[in-house]
Every structure is written in structure tokens, then in C-alpha cells.
Structure 1
Amino acid sequence: MSAATVSSVPIPSRGWRNDMVAALFWLLTVVGVLMMTGAWFLLALASLEEGTEQPKALAAGTTMAGTTLWLGIVPLVFAHIAGFALCLVATTGRFDRARGVLWAGEAVIGASLIGLAVVLVLSGGQLLYTPPDYVP
């Protein structure tokens, strides 16, 4: 009797190799929604800070230009890259690596869209601050 005839249990070719890895992936996805909401919120706050503090900065002989970039956009991009990297690590427990990469991308995009929607609801639909027109 050979080993091939004894093992009649089929080896799965898709799905998760381990339930703990699947739980880790979904845990990271849920935490990612909170992190992406915070990252989108930082963008809104940085934009508000730059727009409202610019007149004071000009009066002091300086500028607030670049605040939205450094305090809003850079953390947002970092959150997306870090989220994708963490989800990639979690999807190494899948049998199909290519599908795992797709799952990681979908998890980050989904978390980001949910975070963006939450921030838009909380900010009244205005993500970036636009100062009112000055009328003397």
C-alpha cells in the first residue's frame, strides 16, 4: 500500500490555511477602518488649520502653506501603504497568493472609503476647508 492510496483527503486549493490567520486579517481590516477614518480626519483638520491660521501667519511674516500636505496628505498616504502591507502579511495564510493580494487591496480600499464617508458625514460634506470670500 503506497502513501498516495492511504491519503484520500483532498488538499484545498483556496481559502485560508489557518483560522487564526483569517481572524487576524479580518481584525486588521476592522482596525483599518478606524485608522483610515483617523487619517481622513487628519486631512480635514490640517486643511482647516491651514485655512484659518493663514491670515495670522501672514501678519506675523510667515506662512501656513504646506500644512495640509505635511499634516494631512502624508499621514493619509502612509496609512494606506501601512494598511496594505499589514493586510499582505495577513494574507500570506491564504492558499492562493494572488487572490490574497487582491483581498488586501480590497480591504484597504474598502476601509478607506468607509473612513472617507464617515469624515464627510461628520464634516458636513466638506473634506477640505475653503475660506469664505473676503468682502470688505
Structure 2
Amino acid sequence: MTASANNPSGLTNTWRTVAVVSWLLVFFAIIAIAVTSRNIGKPTWWLGPESNPSFMLLWALPFVAPIASIIAAIKFGHIASYVGFGSALLLGAIGAADINNTPGVALVECVIAVSSALIALATFAGRINQSV
């Protein structure tokens, strides 16, 4: 497929939709982790316990990754894969930081990070060939 004036993003329309939906699923998975970890009484390090919660901006840290990837997929498709890999690394680091205190939660966070890396890898397939 060749680049067109209608699609300056760098991803085909279908792949852009797939990427955005996939990153939205990552976003909701992080919400599910946050709620579940609080409910079972083993909150993640970025949430902190209910009696002594972490700094409010720290709560947003894991959500930066999927939001940045969604923006990249919509507006900057030519770098969406690279932003996605950066997001996967950030999510992996967040999961690794939870290994000592909450290993079960950390495992799920790391699975989400690996899934994010696979999403980033898949977005390479949707890039528009601009050389033609």
C-alpha cells in the first residue's frame, strides 16, 4: 500500500485501528490490575496502601505508556512501533519493581508488558511503504 494524502499518519487505516484498540485494552488491563491489587490488599508500588497512598502523579505513571502509544498510532504512525517498544519497556520496569512485594501482581504486569511489546512489533506490519 502506498502513502496517500488522506493518511499522513504512517499506518494504514486498519492497522491504526488495531493499534489503538490494542493499546486501549492495555489501558483497561492496567486499570484492572490497580483495582484488583487494592481489593486483595496487596497494592502495587505505584499505588501504595490505602492508609499511605503514593504521590498522586505516580498513579498516572503506568497509564502514560498506553496513552503515548495511542497518540503515536493516531498522529505519528511512522514512529508508533518505537513508541510502543518504549511503552513496553516502561511497563516491564513497573512490573519488575513489584516483584518483591507483590509477585502475583508483578507477573500480570509483566505479561501486559510482553503483550505490549507484541503490539509494538505488530504495528511494523501496518506501516505504509512511503518509497513507492
Q: Shorter-chain TM-score: which interval? A: 0.3 to 0.5
The structure with the largest alpha-carbon Rg is 1
Alignment TM-score, normalising by the size of structure 2: 0.40
Higher helix share: 1
Alignment TM-score, normalising by the size of structure 1: 0.39
